[in-house]
Amino acid sequence: MGSLKVTLCAGVAVVAAVLTPAAYAADGGGGISVNPASPAPGAEVALRVTGCAERTASAVSAAFVTDVKLTVTGEEGTLVGESRIRSSLEIGSYDVTVTCGDTERTVALPVGKTPSTPASPVAPVKAGGGGAAAHIAADNDARTTGPGIAQTVTGLVLASVAATAVALRSARRSRRTD
């Protein structure tokens, strides 16, 4: 029964290995990904290219402010680079051409419109602080006035106890060495 499980698992692994490259190549981008997928004019974009045997490549598009130099990272030869979308660019689709050695791959990059208002949370999440956050916010003037008389007296008493302990200890050590 054990060899049947091993054979079945090996068969599934072979089928997965055979089908994965075909599904990956069918995306039309040939291993090119742009993040964000539909940037607004003026936005920064990050490019990732897989399946290139070279250590460097370049990406060119009319949408980019400058050409992108892609360099290899430690992630199994993935090439990465960054650029900015032209701020004066019209909304539409622009080709991004990646040159890797002697091969060129092209993917379409849809450029969307700029949002009318900046993104902000509708209902901010109460994050951390527990019950202390409201107390600290209400007691904000305590930081500007400094310590009170009770804190000052306590600090002076503790400092004098520490100084006395150090003086007594050094006096005992000096008696032992004589």
Q: What is the pLDDT of residues 57-103, one digit of tens each?
A: 999 999 999 999 999 887 677 899 999 999 888 889 999 999 988 88
Q: Which amino acid is at 36?
A: P
pLDDT of residue 27: 41
Local structure of 146: helix, strand or coil:
coil
- Return the pLDDT at 26: 31
Residue 13 falls in which region: left (phi positive, over 0), alpha (psi -120 to 50) or beta: alpha
- Could you say which residues of the chain have pLDDT below 50? 1, 7-28
pTM value > 0.85 = no
pLDDT at 172: 85
Q: Where do the DSSP E strands lie in 61-164?
A: 68-72, 79-84, 92-100, 103-111
What is the C-alpha separation between 29 and 31, in angstroms, rounded? 6
Q: Which two tokens stand for residue 76?
A: 């199994």
